[in-house]
Amino acid sequence: MTSPDPRAGFSELKFRDPVRARAMVEALGRITDEIGRPRVSVMHVCGSHEQAIAKFGLRATFPRALHVIMGPGCPVCITDTREVDEGVALARQGVHIATYGDMLRVPGTVMSLADAQAEGAAIHVIYSAGQAVELAARLKEPVVFFATGFETTAVATAAIVLKGLPDNLSILSAHKYIPPAMDIVAATPGLAVEGFLAAGHAATITGWGVFEPFVNRHRLPVVVAGFEPLDILAGLVKLLELVRDGAPAVVNMYPRCVTRAGNLRAQEALWEVFQPSCGRWRGIADVPDGNLAFRDRFTGVDARTRFAIDVASLPRRPVSVTAGSCICGSIMAGIKSPTDCALFGSACTPEHPVGACMVSSEGTCKIWHQYGGHPDLGGIA
Amino acid sequence: MCLGVPGKVVAIDGNCATVDFWGVRRQVLLDVVDEPVAVGDYVLNHVGYAIRRIPESEIGETLALFEQLLAQDDAADLMAGDVRAEIAGTGAVPDDES
């Protein structure tokens, strides 16, 4: 690895306010002791949170009994194989596909978009929904925007739809909505997650109020947290206090970005274009209301309406022994860690990914591969 | 994709703002921003759209994390890469295209 020692960033950020950081690390230890169980598990559902936790080595400061697990927080990773297959089938049918870069190497049932590209399909990497519009205006030929991402990203897709798309552009929505997936994870037998850390910028759109029904249903606390090491530590301290006190509630520890109501204008755009529908999350389950599908008014821009997508036409290939032992599903469900996987770092690397979690910058395996999951920071912490 | 990237609004033309991201001027759309935006404000950009006007009192703290990430000059860093991708998702300023 050519990366500089991530500990440099850790010490600078953490020790910008060393007194506060030390106090919070001590509080985590004290509250975990007060809870008094050998294992206390909490879950976050955001790739950026995992990046920050791993990059800044925060797990090295956690008490031994505290397990901070990443759940289904990588939108690329939870895009189902069936959805990738649809994109691949469209590409092989001669349609230009525009999609976010991380999607290219995500495996489908038989191949990834990158494999289809190698066979001559036209795949275009874009960084924003607007670039799909520009591409379609330039090409004149049929273009499908394979739109992935959680509600934060779906808002941009909704915005281009409301503005009006070029006639040759349609959208294959693989957008996902996080709150219903939290219900599934909270009810997973044996997972025993006692609280959730919610992602600050996703909640910028939905507002923290969106978590209140969840808290009432599951009697589990939710804390909204930012992305700085201090933000995450503060969020965990509050979450553990709520666990200790048996006080299921939503607490917003990121008020500089998140309000109770959220961004109403963005929500209006989102729900004007999309409606929740049941969808498969790779490795997790069929999640009721977990997908964002076009409302009837917008079926005209839905690639699933516009094209006969012939997934059955994809060549059948036997699943390799290597791919067969990939545990990405269990990792995304929070049941296992990358280091539990026999392929991690050997047969499966960012250069040669076997599973989706090693592809995306927000995938647990790729993050752990770069930064390490449980770094030894004895010299700093 | 959860992070977004903050930048300073230097000009506004209808629903399109020219935003300065550490010296790089790009276009960001204001269709779904939560509050009215004026020149001099900071906005959080996600895939080409401003999703939040950052209140003045919070600008310093918000910028600090991103400056820390981008200062590393490490092409492999995942967080810095995601932030750069967010800047790449904005539009080119027409005057700069020549």
- Looking at the complex, does the CB of residue A283 fall below 8 Å from at least one CB of chain B? no
Of A370, A350, A152, A364, nearest to A266 (Cα)?
A: A152
Q: Are A144 and A307 in contact (CB under 8 A)?
A: yes
Window 42-101 of A: residues touching B by CB (8 A cutoff) are: 46-49, 51-52, 55, 73, 75, 100-101
* Matching residue, tokens 């274009």: A273
Examine residue B63 and state whether it is found in any structural domain, yes or no.
Answer: yes
| Segments forming the whole domain that contains residue B9 | 5-91
Examine residue B39 and state whether it is found in any structural domain, yes or no.
Answer: yes
Note the pLDDT tens digit of each residue in A251-270.
999 887 889 999 999 999 99
| Cβ–Cβ below 8 Å for A370 and B76 | yes
Mutation for testing the B interface, residue in A58, A127, A155 having most B CBs under 10 Å: A127
Q: What is the percent of chain A with per-residue pLDDT over 90, rounded to a whole number?
A: 72
Tokens found for residue A94? 């001669």
**CB-nearest partner of A51 from B76, B79, B91:** B79
Q: d(Cα A193, Cα A316) in Å, to the nearest integer? A: 38
Neighbours of B58 (CB within 10 A): 14
Exposure on the CB side of residue A219, measured as CA atoms within 13 A: 3
* Matching residue, tokens 């790779």: A282
**CB-nearest partner of A159 from B49, B52, B79:** B49
Note the pLDDT tens digit of each residue in A16-64.
577 888 899 999 999 999 999 999 999 999 989 999 899 888 998 999 9
**At A237, which amino acid appears?**
V
* Better-scored residue on pLDDT, A6 or A172: A172
Note the pLDDT tens digit of each residue in A194-245.
999 998 888 999 999 999 999 999 999 999 998 888 889 999 999 999 999 9
What's the pTM value of the predicted model, to 2 decimals? Answer: 0.91
Distance from CA of A74 to the nearest CA of B (A): 9
Q: Are B14 and B26 in contact (CB under 8 A)?
A: no
- Looking at the complex, does the CB of residue A351 fall below 8 Å from at least one CB of chain B? no
Report phi then psi at A286, rounded to 5: -75, 120
* Number of domains composing chain B: 1
Examine residue B86 and state whether it is found in any structural domain, yes or no.
Answer: yes
Q: Tell me, what DSSP letter sits at residue A318? A: P
Note the pLDDT tens digit of each residue in B4-49.
899 999 999 999 999 999 999 999 999 999 999 999 999 999 999 9
| Cβ–Cβ below 8 Å for B31 and A12 | no
The kind and range of the H/E element at A232 are helix A229-244
| Cβ–Cβ below 8 Å for A129 and B47 | yes
What is the distance of C-alpha A184 from the center of its chain?
A: 15
The kind and range of the H/E element at A233 are helix A229-244
Note the pLDDT tens digit of each residue in A270-287.
999 999 999 999 988 899
CATH number for the domain including B75? 2.30.30.140
| Cβ–Cβ below 8 Å for B49 and A13 | no
* Matching residue, tokens 């939503």: A250
Domains recognised in chain A with CATH numbers: 6-74+179-252 (3.40.50.11750), 81-177+263-313 (3.40.50.11740), 321-371 (no CATH)
Examine residue B98 and state whether it is found in any structural domain, yes or no.
Answer: no
Residues in chain B: 98
Q: Which residues of B touch A204 (CB under 8 A)?
A: 44, 51-52
Of A158, A43, A302, A2, nearest to B48 (Cα)?
A: A158
Q: What is the percent of chain A with per-residue pLDDT over 70, rounded to a whole number?
A: 93
